[in-house]
Amino acid sequence: MEHRTFCRLCPVLCGLVVTTEDDRVVSVRGDADHPLTRGYSCPKGRALGALHHHPRRLDAPRLGDEVTSWDALLDDLAARLRAIVDAHGPDAVAVYHGTHSWNDGFGRMRVEALARHLRTKSIYSAISVDAIARLTVAELVSGLGALVPAIDPDAPALTVLVGTNPVVSHGHAGTLADPVRVLRRIAQGPGLWVLDPRRTETARLGRHLAVRPGADAAVLASVLRELLRDGHDPQYLASHAHADDVARLRAAVEPWDVARAAARADVDERDIDALVDAIRRAGRVIVGTGTGTTMSAEANVVEWLAWAIQIVTGSFEHPQGAWFNPGAHARLDRRDVAAAPAEGRAVPGAPSRPALPGRFGERPCAALADEIEAGNVRALVVVGGDPATALPDHTRLAPLLRTLEVLAVADVVETGTVAAATHVLAVAGPLERDDTNWYTDWFASAICAQRTDAIVPLGADRRAMHEVFTALGARLGLAPDESLLRRSTDRVPELATSPVHLAEPPRVRGWVHERVLPGGRWRVAPPPLVEQLEALGERARDPATTPLVAIPRRAPRRMNSTLHDVARGDDDSALWVHPSSAPGVTDGDEVELSSRAGTIRARARVTTDIREGVVSVPHGLAAQNVALLTSTDDDAVDPLSGMVTQSGFAVSLRPLPR
Ligand SMILES: Nc1nc2c(c(=O)[nH]1)N[C@H]1C(S)=C(S)[C@@H](COP(=O)(O)OP(=O)(O)OC[C@H]3O[C@@H](n4cnc5c(=O)[nH]c(N)nc54)[C@H](O)[C@@H]3O)O[C@H]1N2
Ligand SMILES: Nc1nc2c(c(=O)[nH]1)N[C@H]1C(S)=C(S)[C@@H](COP(=O)(O)OP(=O)(O)OC[C@H]3O[C@@H](n4cnc5c(=O)[nH]c(N)nc54)[C@H](O)[C@@H]3O)O[C@H]1N2
Ligand code: SF4
Ligand SMILES: [Mo]
């Protein structure tokens, strides 16, 4: 039997054809008739069958290690949560949304409804260890944190990528199907520039600047400084920014001349000059960032400067610039959006770390260990995430997870977090559930709503996540929601007759200028970001003086920790290091990498594809868990966003005896 569905491993949302024999998935391939992705798929999506039949698939609900019935599990869980709320208040029950929380549309709707019903403010998600700089800057500059600037694959434009490797990742915020084809077209046409300490698959397609980590802001500031002299669009700026903001922006980047930026980034001045010239010639530009920058200590500043370059050149929503996906379900382009005040909407993050902000209805993951230690969080409900692998300060957090009165984990396979769980919720995987891209439509490369039916029957004693949380909610006084599975068809009526609705036109431009920007103007120089740029200039620790820093990277055949152990998923665990930064280490040697927080062991890949002074560490592995190296100390957390530094932190490397 052949079934059509869409992939729920990442927000590219590829259309797939899944072939089954009885209840076995025998093959998964791209769907050539799918209007959004036209046959494209990647090795992760094609491994969905391997995930479904994973040797350590969760088959049944468990109380700790004891298999039980769903009724017994949910009765016990509900009683414990109720008791904790009664004794300690609702914030003692925390929820952590991981990657596959967003990807299970109906499931997440029910989890959110339950969290609202309980009135807990202890909401955590991977956003605060991934991309919070992006939302923070979007909110400060535009008034709307949900804005995601994206490449239009059908309208190639001059593109500068900073700290992102879309050939592997398919993009960080705005995503790309078939990235090699799209990026090659950009490189051969208007031009592709890639700033990355590593010569990545993406860097090979365009012009590569092997910048030193921690110096992206300097490079972008110098580019902006030059463009503000010659290369911006004065008419656009006069009508879409406040003159005093533009003056402050000019003053903020003034100290960053090209020579200073080049020295800090350890790149040739002529390369920066050439980049400026390319932007001047094209007139408009897309500057896309990624986790290489959102995880760095300068994340907010980089993000802001990337936006500012696009604003001063009048590029946003221009046919040769980035567009903003209004969401296929929300269609923000069809309503009025209330902009956040200029200072944003931060609230105190968590009682034990009051200096860290809470943003967008969430508390920062950086505070989670402290919250557990302080007894503020006593129950943690983990939804589609693996905090034991993904969250920082593993050395402290992992033992604390085991002290929780309740650790309820909704997952599909055994993980480090499941091993510590008191309540294991064996939920449906992507092929076993009805679904909608309700939460991930923002990131697709076009305005596209999708729904799918389950295409294989629920195996063993698993339950769909929305049913599990509906049943748990019922025990805690939350009424079921009969309209749940109709929500996407109610919002997008076309989905009632077709599983994919690609909007016409598939991309809209102009709605942010018309509906979002207060008075039609960008706030191009938010004071907290100007201050952070100033501090960067004064920072005592110049990146040049740190001999070795660690930077993150993604692997082609797994999705963070998912698929690391099936379908050739574990093929990318090596630490990339330049020969001059690893004296005495030969390619393939076992090495030890240490930070002030901890140590991991891995194989070294000694290569000139990475610049000196940098070691590239994969994310998502349990054996080489990079979270052992990260810290949540105050100096490792950004005070404006609550983001933990996971890129560009100091490490040392030593060979292990052969
Ligand atoms: N040091 C360091 N830390 C990092 C990063 C880094 O690069 N370096 N990266 C950060 C980033 S960008 C992110 S997004 C986070 C990721 O943080 P998490 O989302 O917590 O981690 P994942 O590894 O994506 O965990 C996903 C979990 O979902 C489960 N799963 C898979 N499919 C399904 C499903 O259909 N339903 C359910 N319920 N569960 C499912 C998987 O088995 C896995 O346990 O980690 C962050 N942490
Ligand atoms: N195949 C695959 N795809 C994925 C994932 C996966 O695990 N596997 N994870 C998904 C998730 S959760 C996310 S968040 C996205 C992330 O998507 P991306 O942000 O594109 O992630 P990466 O592919 O790791 O690319 C980050 C790049 O930044 C570079 N870098 C590191 N530090 C710095 C720095 O200081 N400056 C500069 N200029 N560059 C730096 C790294 O060398 C790396 O090449 O990918 C998603 N897609
Ligand atoms: S690119 Fe993303 S959506 Fe497409 S097949 Fe790969 S994991 Fe699935
Ligand atoms: Mo992520």
DSSP string covering 287-308, please? EEE-HHHHTBTTHHHHHHHHHH
The rounded distance, in Å, linking the Cα atoms of 370 and 351 is: 9
Q: How far apart are the CA of 16 and the centre of ligand 3, in A?
A: 9
The rounded distance, in Å, linking the Cα atoms of 160 and 271 is: 13
Q: What is the pLDDT of residue 538?
A: 66
Contact (Cβ atoms closer than 8 angstroms) between residue 575 and residue 611: no
Q: What is the pLDDT of residue 543?
A: 57
The rounded distance, in Å, linking the Cα atoms of 449 and 92 is: 36
Of all protein residues, the one whose alpha carbon is nearest to atom 5 of ligand 3 is 45
10 lines ligand 3 (CB under 6 A): yes
SS3 601: strand
Nearest ligand, CA 8: 3
Of all protein residues, the one whose alpha carbon is nearest to atom 10 of ligand 1 is 130
The rounded distance, in Å, linking the Cα atoms of 175 and 189 is: 20
Q: Which two tokens stand for residue 616?
A: 């590239």
5 lines ligand 3 (CB under 6 A): no
Of the candidates 140, 139, 170, the residue with the CA atom closest to the CA atom of residue 153: 170
The rounded distance, in Å, linking the Cα atoms of 501 and 492 is: 8
Minimum-distance ligand 2 atom for the alpha carbon of 553? 24
Map tokens 């927080």 to a residue.
597
Q: How far apart are the CA of 70 and the centre of ligand 2, in A?
A: 38
The string of pLDDT tens digits covering residues 97-143 is 999 999 999 999 999 999 999 999 999 999 999 999 999 999 999 99
Give 173's pLDDT tier (boundaries 50, 70, 90). Answer: confident
The string of pLDDT tens digits covering residues 261-292 is 999 999 999 999 999 999 999 999 999 999 99
The string of pLDDT tens digits covering residues 152-161 is 999 999 999 9
Overall size of the chain counted in residues: 658
Q: Which long-range contacts (CB under 8 A, 24 or more apart) does 491-498 make?
A: 491/329, 491/449, 492/328, 492/329, 492/449, 494/449, 495/436, 495/449, 495/450, 495/451
Q: Which residues pair with 605 in a beta bridge?
A: 576
Does residue 384 carry a pLDDT above 70?
yes
Q: What is the mean pLDDT of residues 41-62?
A: 97
Q: Which two tokens stand for residue 509?
A: 């431009």
Does residue 626 carry a pLDDT above 70?
yes
Mutate to test the pocket of ligand 1, among 412, 626, 644 (most ligand atoms within 8 A of CB): 412
Of the candidates 586, 639, 54, 14, the residue with the CA atom closest to the CA atom of residue 353: 639
Report the 10 Å Cβ neighbour count for 176.
Answer: 22
Of all protein residues, the one whose alpha carbon is nearest to atom 6 of ligand 3 is 42
- Ligand 2 pocket (Cβ < 6 Å) reads 10, 44, 99, 130, 162-166, 168-170, 172, 195-198, 200, 211, 213, 216, 290-293, 296, 551-556, 558-560, 616, 620, 647-648
**Distant-in-sequence, close-in-space partners of 267: CB < 8 Å, separation ≥ 6:** 209, 210, 211, 219
Of all protein residues, the one whose alpha carbon is nearest to atom 35 of ligand 1 is 429
170 lines ligand 3 (CB under 6 A): yes
Map tokens 């959102």 to a residue.
294
445 lines ligand 3 (CB under 6 A): no
Map tokens 């050149």 to a residue.
313
- Ligand 1 pocket (Cβ < 6 Å) reads 98-100, 104, 126, 129-130, 291, 384-387, 389-390, 410-413, 415, 427, 429-430, 465, 552, 560-562, 619-620, 626-627, 630, 646
Does residue 589 carry a pLDDT above 60?
yes
Mutate to test the pocket of ligand 1, among 383, 411, 468 (most ligand atoms within 8 A of CB): 411
Phi-psi region of 483 (alpha: psi -120 to 50; beta: other; left: phi over 0): alpha
Cis link prior to 179 (omega < 30° from 0)?
no
∠ CA 282-288-292, rounded to 5°: 140
Q: How far apart are the CA of 550 and the centre of ligand 4, in A?
A: 17
Q: Where are the alpha helices (DSSP H) in 230-358?
A: 234-240, 243-253, 258-265, 269-282, 291-294, 299-312
Q: What is the pLDDT of residue 480?
A: 94
Report the 10 Å Cβ neighbour count for 79.
Answer: 12
Nearest ligand, CA 469: 1
The rounded distance, in Å, linking the Cα atoms of 161 and 362 is: 28
Nearest ligand, CA 15: 3
Could you report how far apart the first and last alpha carbons of the chain are, in Å?
A: 52
SS3 584: coil
The string of pLDDT tens digits covering residues 444-500 is 999 999 999 999 999 899 999 999 999 999 999 999 999 999 999 999 999 999 999
42 lines ligand 3 (CB under 6 A): yes
Strands 286-289 and 357-358, by their bridges, are unpaired
Report the 10 Å Cβ neighbour count for 119.
Answer: 11
Does residue 542 carry a pLDDT above 60?
no
The string of pLDDT tens digits covering residues 308-329 is 999 999 999 999 999 999 999 9
The rounded distance, in Å, linking the Cα atoms of 555 and 142 is: 33
Q: What is the CA radius of gyration of the chain?
A: 24
Nearest ligand, CA 169: 2
Average per-residue pLDDT for the chain: 95
The rounded distance, in Å, linking the Cα atoms of 533 and 298 is: 8
The rounded distance, in Å, linking the Cα atoms of 203 and 86 is: 55
Q: Per mean pLDDT, which of 334-338, 376-380, 558-562 is the most reliable?
A: 376-380
The rounded distance, in Å, linking the Cα atoms of 652 and 650 is: 7
Q: How far apart are the CA of 290 and the centre of ligand 3, in A?
A: 18
* CB neighbour class for 260 (10 Å; exposed up to 12, middle 13-18, buried from 19): middle
Report the 10 Å Cβ neighbour count for 536.
Answer: 20
Q: What is the pLDDT of residue 657?
A: 86
Does residue 540 carry a pLDDT above 50?
no
Report the 10 Å Cβ neighbour count for 546.
Answer: 16
Q: How far apart are the CA of 45 and the centre of ligand 4, in A?
A: 17
Of all protein residues, the one whose alpha carbon is nearest to atom 35 of ligand 2 is 213
Contact (Cβ atoms closer than 8 angstroms) between residue 61 and residue 30: no
Does residue 544 carry a pLDDT above 70?
no
Give 197's pLDDT tier (boundaries 50, 70, 90). Answer: very high
Minimum-distance ligand 2 atom for the alpha carbon of 168? 1
Of the candidates 462, 479, 475, the residue with the CA atom closest to the CA atom of residue 70: 462
Q: What is the pLDDT of residue 204?
A: 98
Distance, CA of 25 to chain centre: 29
* CB neighbour class for 303 (10 Å; exposed up to 12, middle 13-18, buried from 19): buried
Q: How far apart are the CA of 3 and the centre of ligand 1, in A?
A: 27
Side-chain-side CA neighbours of residue 95 (13 Å): 23
Contact (Cβ atoms closer than 8 angstroms) between residue 396 and residue 382: no
Give 555's pLDDT tier (boundaries 50, 70, 90). Answer: very high
Does residue 59 carry a pLDDT above 90?
yes
